[in-house]
Chain A
Amino acid sequence: MLSSSIRLAGLRRFRLIRCQSTSVETKDTTDKTNIFESKDIKWDKVKTVFSKKPKNPARSPLLKNFFNGQFDSELIAFPEVINRDDMAELYKTVDQSKEFFRTINSDEINKAGMIPSDVVEGLRKLDAFATDVPHSFGGTEFRITESCLRGETEAQDVNIMRTLNVHRLVTHILNESGSDEQKSKFLPLLAKGDILGTVAFIELDLCPNGIFNTTAKTSLKGGDWTLNGKKSFVINAKNADLFLVFAGTQISNKCGDKVDGMTAFLIESDMNGVEVKEGEETLGCNGVKQCDVTFNNVELGQAHVIGTFETGSEVAQKLLIKSRLQAGILSLVMMKKIVNTLTKYCIDGCQSGVNLMELDLFKNSLAKAVSDIYALESMIYLTAGIFDDYENADVDLETAVVKVFAQRSLLRVATLPLNFMGPKAIVNGEPLAECLKDALHLNTHGESPDSLEQYIGLTGLQHVGLSIAADIKKIRNPLMNPSYIFKRLYDNKNIENLKQTLHVNHYLHPTMDPAAQWLEFSILRLFIASETLLARHSVQIMDKQIEVRRLSECAISTYAMFASVSRASRSYCIGLQFCDFEMLIASAFSFDHMLKVLQLVRDIHEGPYMTNDMNYVKISKQIFKEKGYFSIHPLTRNF
């Protein structure tokens, strides 16, 4: 398929808009100006000081516009955020970090349940705590892309990575939303690693009404607010000195009514009423203890609030965006590790004269795992690139997709050894068994994939709703708009046979032609599906979670295709090593996911009665009525 398209494409393509070649380098790397006037900076400590490339003007969001059936031709060129000189410097620190992590014994950390102090000291020396702190506060001020790259080395040890991640989240949020006093008070200390920060977001119990059980109410004494409640699974809470706590609050909306909201508080561990307790033992990730933190009438003032009282959810949004990418990196590294181990196992393994390597079954599984990894890697760096390259980039959905895809594929890949190796894969202490446990643990951490999926679908629909609201109104009132309906019937869009209207292939290497077409069709189908859903359910779509999930899966697949294809095209154009295989991986991945999207959109098109949805709703009703499995035993006699 590929070879034939190469021939065809060579004849047809004249409209390659941006020629991706090595000679095109428009970034100005000349001005390494010293824009930092602060006296606090110890210049010897700052290793990489480069002027950051100024961000490009804001663009409309990429994935959200997929729902509209549009795509951004500039972003398909895969962003190159870091210029060449910075790259060399960055690789130096990355290599140091890699070297350091090679010396770390993860087993010991897992057994001890804590990170040894010499490792912490080593991390301090590597400036691992300072990545998100600006230069003026003694940090290294990494951009997202840079911290992702560096994170890959650190993720060799899950526990250290998680400790660093939460610390970085605190510094990131402080830097983005904190007040000047908060910044100058905490950031220098945080940068040095003298104090450690952590995030308290998750709660063990569901909150029946509201967002969190932990609430801050207007104080009757002392401070402005009183904080009460319990946060669970707080990573590294024992050693942390600073908690970033999200609490449910009553905030006034635009009309002045009180509504449930959230506020971010920065709380020092030595404040009155803060208590850290040993948390529940979990399946995996036991190297760093996760603790319960209880807040008992903690008096808080204005100085403890991050951002403003009302903007807690915006702060949370920033936090989530970063944490999703971190989760992506962690999954990526784990998946790579698992695939590498499995490959070695297949090469060495031999059963009754047959080398495991020769079995198609294993070949197929490994290749699929690798294409998942490839897609995830592409998505992470594409998203990070968009975030770093453009002003106020809206990567909310993109990061959500990264996290869902990462967690789903990590779970898939982590269970592969069960098939490959049998019981050997679940022996306690085996590296792959530990990986499986960690994968299960990570799957539950932060936002759950299911709710994130809903979020992706609904946000997409929200975006589409803005632009096609008028059409939807007409479709839903056919008798009022007969001419519109007839017109619509006339040019009925068929999901099976589409016309190329976006011309994605014009912006990719000609060899990518089929994959580009699949990508384009997926984008168009995503739009048709969104339109169908809005026309069918209108505002009630919020309750149709199965439909939203389908749409969301389409979006995830489409974004993954987009990232893989654009990366493969770039690699091929600039001639990276193995780029021909990158093309193959991207094509294979796109083909799989094009089919997946097609099936999902077909299901959406058919509706709940033609698919099985309604049957399952019916069954579930009986389950709830009987409070569980209800079928009578098959051996029962009726007469």
Chain B
Amino acid sequence: MHFLRNQLSKLGRQSLILSERYYPIRYDSNTSTDEKKTDDKNKNFVFEKQLTLQSSFENITEKNRDTYLAMVDVFLDRDVHRRNHVEFIYAALKHMETFGVHRDVEVYKALMNVMPKEKFIPRNMFQAEFMHYPKQQQCIIDLLEQMEDNGVMPDFEMQAILLNTFGRRGHPTIKYMRMMYWMPKFKNQSPWLLPNPVPNDALELAKMAVKRMCTVDLHSNVDVYHTNEVESAIDDTWIVSGMSPEQMQLLAQHSPEKSLRIEGPHLIWLRNQSLNYFVLKGDGKEYPMSTDDDEDMDDVSNLTFNKYGWATSKQKQVDVKRSVHEQRDGVIYAVCATGTSTKDSLLSWIRLLEKNGNPCLGQIPVLFKFRSNVAENLLVTSS
């Protein structure tokens, strides 16, 4: 027990250091070394110490990680008993999203550290079995649940905190163990794994999105164009365009009498970010019905194969094999995302495609077919 207490005091210091790292300003004394940084707003915090907890999160005007952690520290420093810490944690959990910290494991750890150490550890099997300090345990379980819902994986420091708070048999610790079993298993399950978090840059996102959509065809190329390559372009933005050689071939075969459509904007989600994209589509190609009689697939009396090169039965196919780009509702020739998602940028896209290996686009009329309102160009929206 003595050993554990030592550990705990060490951990307490550690968490203190942690909170200092994130939040270097002390409120209880004006003699702190960081006095210069103590501006009016921070003084405000000191003043707000007196307010009730629930409203305090709502009252803060600048909602970010620093202020959130400041709130936690304010609570810790208010009194040694940390009264109402369960209520505080619930209130803090509720406001996480508005502060934009709901995906931050460090913040969860800071909240968890609000709980006093050692006190809630069950000391015998009955305590362990009958949920020692149920309110507190449930509170941390809810905290872990919220982490899970937001896809935040706990780490080993959290394990240490939990062990020191609820012990090996505490329900939150067991919940933590389960999370650590399952969450790593699901972490990399996506066939199109994205970085976590996804970058904030729209261009990077667009590249990822188009690349992901282009995985249907292994030969696809993803190009990044800029509208200033087109003379008449009004918008000044980027275009991420995906097209495969097979699509180019299909486009070259497209009759200039039939028009093409730019359809969109469609929405694609990359983790929590969404992005608009457009596709260049045309009517499906009609293949003549095979005039051959259905071949008897059981007749092996006349096996013919290519003697030179690799033999396959492909030549015996009854029907033409459609490419993956030829869908029921039409042929998809290309896909793009532009920086502005305006009509003008899409026009630039078509001109750029024409310039880069699809001269036939010069003759084919292209129509817009939008699902929602799309701006003519950027100037219109900004004016």
Contact = CB atoms under 8 A, between A and B. Distances in A.
Contact of B297 (A454, A455, A468, A538): A538
Interface string B304-335: 11011111111010000000000000000000
Contacts of A451: 309-310
B257 interface: no
Interface string B289-301: 0000001011111
Nearest to A474: B298
Interface in A281-337: 313, 316-317
Contact of A455 (B188, B218, B307, B313): B307
B232 interface: no
A211 interface: yes
Contacts of A313: 307-308
Interface string A191-221: 0000000000000000100010000000000
A540 B313 contact: yes
A316 B303 contact: no
Interface string B266-307: 000000000000000000000000000001011111111101
B215 A458 contact: no
A472 interface: yes
A317 B155 CA distance: 69
Given A473-B298, A624-B218, A638 B184 contact: yes
B300 A211 contact: no
Contact of A542 (B183, B184, B215, B311): B311
Contacts of A539: 295, 297-300, 303, 313, 316
Contact of B300 (A262, A472, A477, A543): A472
Contact of A454 (B180, B298, B302, B310): B310
Nearest to B185: A638
A469 interface: yes
A468 B215 CA distance: 45
A39 interface: no
B268 to A, nearest CB: 19
A207 B184 CA distance: 47
A401 to B, nearest CB: 16
A462 interface: yes
Task: Indicate the member of A539, A540, A625 with the most B CB atoms within 10 Å.
Answer: A539
B300 A534 contact: yes
Given A540-B313, A638-B187, A458 B303 contact: yes
A458 B300 contact: no
A619 to B, nearest CB: 15
Interface residues of B, number: 28
Contacts of B309: 207, 211, 451
Contacts of A211: 308-309
Interface residues of A, number: 34
A476 interface: yes
Contacts of B303: 458, 461-462, 465, 539, 541-542
Contacts of A469: 299-301
B364 interface: no
A290 B188 CA distance: 51
Interface string A553-576: 000000000000000000000000
A639 interface: yes
A466 interface: yes
Interface in B149-187: 153, 155, 180, 183-184, 187
A534 B183 CA distance: 48
Interface in A512-562: 534, 538-543, 545
Contacts of A633: none
Contacts of B298: 472-473, 476-477, 538-539
A33 to B, nearest CB: 40
B187 to A, nearest CB: 6
A299 to B, nearest CB: 26
A458 B311 contact: yes
Contacts of B155: 639
Contacts of B304: 462
A627 interface: yes
A468 B300 CA distance: 8
A540 B296 CA distance: 11
Contacts of A627: 218
Nearest to A542: B313
Nearest to A639: B184
A313 B307 CA distance: 9
Nearest to A462: B303
A540 B298 CA distance: 9
A354 B8 CA distance: 69
A465 B304 CA distance: 11
17 contacts: A211-B309, A313-B308, A458-B303, A458-B311, A465-B300, A472-B300, A473-B298, A538-B297, A539-B299, A539-B313, A540-B313, A541-B313, A542-B313, A543-B313, A543-B314, A627-B218, A638-B184
Interface of A: 207, 211, 262, 313, 316-317, 451, 454-455, 458, 461-462, 464-466, 468-469, 472-473, 476-477, 534, 538-543, 545, 624-625, 627, 638-639
Given A473-B299, A627-B218, 13 more contacts: A262-B308, A454-B311, A455-B307, A455-B311, A458-B305, A466-B301, A469-B300, A539-B299, A540-B297, A541-B303, A543-B312, A543-B314, A625-B218
What 7 pairs between A and B have smallest CB-CB spacing? Answer: A469-B301, A465-B300, A542-B313, A462-B303, A638-B184, A476-B298, A473-B298
